[in-house]
Every structure is written in C-alpha cells, then in structure tokens.
Amino acid sequence: MDGVIPLNKEIGQTSSDYVYKLRKVLHTRKIGHTGTLDPLVDGVLPICVGQATKLVNTLTGSPKEYEGEITLGRSTTTEDREGKTVAEQKLDKPFTIAELNDIFQKMTGDLTQIPPMFSAVRVNGKKLYEYARAGIEVERPERHIHIYDFHIMDEPIFDQNSGLQTIKFHVKCSKGTYVRTLAVEFGHLLGLPAFMSQLTRVKSAGFSIEETYTLGQIEKMMAEDDHSFLRKIDDVLKDVPSHELTDYEWEVRVLHGGFLELKNADTTKQLRVMKAGTTKALYKYDKIRDMWIPDLMLLNNK
C-alpha cells in the first residue's frame, strides 16, 4: 500500500495518535504525517503510507491554509483557548472592518516569529512545552515565515457584556508558522491582549478539506476492501514539472542515481522524472555542476 491519505483530523487527537491508529487499521508500520496539528486544531492532515513516506519532508514544506478566529481583549498562557488567562482588557467599542483590514495587511509578507512556550520546538534537547510545564522560561530562537494571504472572512462579533471582539480569518502561510502567535501579534498591533479561539486547517499539500476522510470512514472502507481514500504518488505530485525519461536516461542514469543533462527544464523548480508516465524520482538543478542531481528516489513507485 503506497500513497497519501487526505485525513480529516478531529479535535482532541494528536497527529501522532492518528499515525498509531492507522498503523493498526492499514496493517502497516510505514506511515508518517506531514506536519503536526495541535489537539485543539482540526482539519487537513495528509498521511503518507509506504513508498510515499519519502515525501513527508517535501509535503511538510508546502504552504498551508487555515480558517480560524482571533479573540481580542484577553490573552492566555498557551495563546489558544486551552490556556489560563494572562491578561484582560475590555473593549469599549468594536474595531471597524477598515481598522482590522489595516492590521491584516501589515501582517502579510515576510515576518519573524518567536515560537510560543507551549510548542514542540526543541531548545537544548528539550521541547519548549516541557520547560513551560515546569514553569521555566527559556530563550527561544527566531524563525522567519511568509504570510501569502491574511484576511477577514465574516462580520466581526462584539460582545458588549464581556468586552471581547471575535474576528474570523483565513490565512495562507509558509511552513513553520504558528497561527496562535499570529493571533497574539494581531492583538499587539491593536494594543490589546488576544488569543486564537478556534482553528481549522483547510488546505495542506494540495488537499482541501472537502477531499478528506475521517478515521471512521477509512476504517469502514478498509473493512469493505475499498482503498479509494489513498491518493497515488503521481496524483500528489501532479503539479510538479515533469520530464519523461528516455531508455538511456532511465537505465544508465536514474536507476543508478546518476546526474541528468536537461536543456529545457525550469532550473528554479524541482523536477519529477518519469518512466512510462510514473514518477521515479525528484531531481533538482545544481548550478555548480550545471546538471540535474537526485533529490528524492522513488524507484519502486508503480
């Protein structure tokens, strides 16, 4: 069994929980996920199976899209609704859409983030959340991210009694972005405490949430010997530029991990090399050698 499952992760489960459960359901140990989702976040979690586990790093590095909510007027220890309240500042009146749009625009493009203490980033061999649970604050490394799009989705909701304003948003972001931290930074730019009150990943590795399957659906389909939930490697890589190999390129070069001389390929992008319409490897251009060199081998893909 080789391919990628567009899984719909439910709230309350970790990404690792699903890997563990799917190993039992699919009767295979060769499974890996393509980017951790916190237990409070649901949505698209592509799962690689068999030969496709070689694609984990490639798919993890692709941009992701989320829909969620920012709540203004309160901040928490974990930057989401699970944490304890750190600060509160009631709003006297709601911000207008124009005022909010100005902040969304300011937070689009190249940004620098400090990972939250309640995260799985490692510092000196330990995960940050381990320090946080022990009450220890440590210096955290900066990370550079890119926000492709960040915009408001619906009319904001203002609660006169609590003094809180909730904004629904859509964001397309690079690998390594902490959307929780985006919510906090959004509040900072308005001079207010803020936290992420809800989040759903709606797109990852080219899969949209409409294409996903729940674990329950996969279990039922497996019982019926139906594997249509599994997407082929070639389908997953369909948007990567391709080159059909000659017999010589395949038998003499690629089969032995050799370099390729290709004159018309786009050197700025990864290239999938194919034999009889099936992806056999991903190659990348090497400027120094002026040759295409192997980046990822998928020789057993059928």
Q: What is the C-alpha to C-alpha distance for residues 1 and 196, in angstroms, rounded to an integer?
A: 38
pLDDT per position in the chain (302 positions), as tens? 899 999 999 999 888 899 999 999 999 999 999 878 888 999 999 999 999 999 999 898 889 999 999 999 999 988 999 889 999 999 999 999 999 999 999 999 999 987 665 555 566 666 656 666 666 676 667 889 999 999 999 999 999 999 999 999 999 999 989 999 999 999 999 999 999 999 999 999 999 999 999 999 999 999 999 999 999 999 999 999 999 999 999 999 999 999 999 988 889 999 999 999 999 999 999 999 999 999 999 998 88
Enter the DSSP assignment of 152. Answer: E
* Domain regions of the chain by residue span: 3-62+205-234, 64-202, 240-297
Strands 74-76 and 291-297: unpaired
Amino acid at 65: E
Q: Are 31 and 56 in contact (CB under 8 A)?
A: no
**Strand (E) positions, 82-160?**
85-88, 109-113, 122-123, 126-127, 143-152, 157-159
Residue 290 burial (CB count, 10 A): 10
Q: Are 171 and 145 in contact (CB under 8 A)?
A: no
- Spell out the residues 6+ positions from residue 247 whose beta carbon is closer than 8 angstroms to its own: none
Residue length of the chain: 302
Q: Which CATH number fits domain 3-62+205-234: 1.10.645.10, 3.30.470.10, 3.90.1010.10, 3.30.2350.10?
A: 3.30.2350.10
Q: What is the C-alpha to C-alpha distance for residues 43 and 41, in angstroms, rounded to an integer?
A: 7
The 10s digit of each residue's pLDDT in 55-105 is 999 898 889 999 999 999 999 988 999 889 999 999 999 999 999 999 999
pTM of the model: 0.89
Q: Helix, strand, coil % (nearest 5) of the chain? A: 25, 35, 40
Among this protein's residues, is 38 annotated catalytic?
Answer: yes
Q: What is the C-alpha to C-alpha distance for residues 81 and 78, in angstroms, rounded to an integer?
A: 8
Q: What is the CATH number of domain 240-297?
A: 2.30.130
Does the fold of domain 64-202 match that of domain 3-62+205-234? yes
Q: What is the CATH number of domain 64-202?
A: 3.30.2350.10
Q: Are 68 and 200 in contact (CB under 8 A)?
A: yes
- Spell out the residues 6+ positions from residue 256 whose beta carbon is closer than 8 angstroms to its own: none
Give the three-state DSSP class for 131: helix
Q: What is the C-alpha to C-alpha distance for residues 48 and 27, in angstroms, rounded to an integer?
A: 14
Task: Return the closest-CA partner of residue 86 out of 126, 119, 117.
Answer: 117
Active-site hit among 2, 17, 38, 235? 38
The 10s digit of each residue's pLDDT in 32-55 is 998 788 889 999 999 999 999 999
